[in-house]
Structure formats: C-alpha cells, structure tokens
Structure 1
Amino acid sequence: MKKSFLLLVLIIISSCSSEDSDTELKKTLQGRWNWDGSSGGIAGTSSTPESTNKVIYIEFSGSTYRNYVDGKLFSEKKFEIKNRKSIFGGERPMIVSTDTLQYFVPMSFTIENDKLFLSDECYDCFGSGYTRIK
C-alpha cells in the first residue's frame, strides 16, 4: 500500500514539474524580440535586416505568437511549448501551434541572456536569431 502511494506521489510530482518547466520557458519567451538574421535552406543562404531592408520582430504574449514586418502584423498563431525529439538530436523545448487549421513548422529554441535562437524543425529550413526589445 505504501509503495503504491509513493509511486502515485512520484508520478504527480514529475508531471507537475514538467508543466512548471514549460510555464517557466513560456515566461522567458514573453515580450518582443528584434530579428538579427536568419540562415539555412537548401542553398545555405543568410539574410539580415540590412540585406533585406526589413525590420522584423516577433512577440510572445500569453499563448499567442505574432510576427511583424515593417511594423505591420504579418502572422498570428496560438502556441504552446512541448518537449519533443529534435532533428538536431535529443529532446528540446519546441514552440508548436495549437491551431490545427494553420500550417506551422515547430521551432526548437534556446535563450541565452537577451538572445533568442529559433530553429525550424525540418531539414533544409532556417534558423534565426533575435535580441530582446527592452
């Protein structure tokens, strides 16, 4: 009986810590991020605000992801964070869409200080860097 109770407690704690971790990751994403550049694709191209003559930023607010180009809303999607197997190896936190009606490539991400790195989870896709807007 004690073993069953202990097992139940461990399951509850482990499931809560995963949700707490996802919530913490979502909090670190919150705010606006200015695009620094992207690279990738089949041809291995790179682009920056200077090379494209565009100002791009993304915004995470609650469970909404918005992409702005030259100050105009380009796209808006609902998202959540899930730990999934990555094409880059191992499991990574990923931004995934909760809207089944819109196509959205999952993106793995890392945050280092005020830098956000997003990687599309598909072969020959792009990786992008962003700086937090304060």
Structure 2
Amino acid sequence: MKNAIIAFLAVLTLFSCKTAKLPIETESISLANLKGAWDWKKTTGGFAGVTITPETARYILHLEFKDDELLFFKNNEATRGYHFSLVKDKTIYSADSLYIIKPDNSENEIPLVVTKMVKDTIILADNVNDGFSSTYVKRKN
C-alpha cells in the first residue's frame, strides 16, 4: 500500500510540472533590431509563479545589446555580460523553431528564448522548465 501511494504521488508530481505556454508573437528578429538598451518592466514565472517588478523588487534592471555582446545592469551598474549568437532552434515553448540568445563559451548562462518581440517590447524566457520570462521595453534614443 505504501509503495502504491508513493508511486501515485510520483506520477502526480510529474504531471503537475508543466511547461509554461507563452504567446509566441515575433516580428523580424535580428542583431540590428536587438541592438540598444532595454529597460526591465517585469519578470514572471518560476516554480511558484511569482511576478516581480521594479516597484516590488526595489531595484531597476536593464540590458544592453552591443553587436554580439549582451550586458546586464542592476541600478545602472554592470553585473555581468557575455558574447552570444542569435540562433533559430527548437525550444521548450513551441514545436516551431524560435530565436535563441545563446551564450558563447559560457556554461553558467541559460539560453534566452525570444518569445515575443513587437515594436519596442521584447519578452525573453529561460529555456528551462519552471524558468522565468522577463519583459523589456527599448529605450528611445
């Protein structure tokens, strides 16, 4: 009986872990239209399904795309960066290939999937189950 309960709980756990279904809506994605600074608006996801904003986090984030380099900033101070390739490949979000910001020679960085890019808004999602997706708006020059 104990083994049956454990097996039931294991199966229940496996079926309760779902991949988040994100709306896939992209315009033309290229290094040229990624280039520039992007201000963070919100992050959602994770195992608990949280939503974090600059107001709730009490800090600001932004990204800067420079040619093949992606830089991350917190409160206007650089925190990390890496060189990347923009590739179209399979992801956990769609049967169709999507654009992925794939870190070059970095084992510690999770590839970011471009799940939405319309006008001046981009949504980047971790290419892992229970990951996070973040919304950014491009700065006007």
Q: Pick one of 63, 66, 82 that aligns with 2:87.
A: 82
Q: Specify the SS of the correspondent of 2:79.
A: strand
Choose between structure 1 and 2 for higher RCO, CA contacts under 8 A separated by at least 6 residues. 2
Deviations 1:41-80 (A, max 9, x none): 0000110000001111000001110000001101110001
CA RMSD in angstroms, aligned pairs only: 1.0
State the shift of 1:31 in Å: 0.1
The residue number in structure 2 matching 1:49 is 54
Segments of 4+ in structure 1 off by > 4 A? none
The residue number in structure 2 matching 1:130 is 136
The residue number in structure 2 matching 1:39 is 44
Length-normalised TM-score, structure 1: 0.79
What are structure 1's unaligned runs of at least 5 residues?
Answer: 1-23
What are structure 2's unaligned runs of at least 5 residues?
Answer: 1-28
Q: How many residues align?
A: 110
Q: Does 1:62 align with 2:53?
A: no
The residue number in structure 2 matching 1:7 is none
Q: Which amino acid aligns with 1:36?
A: K
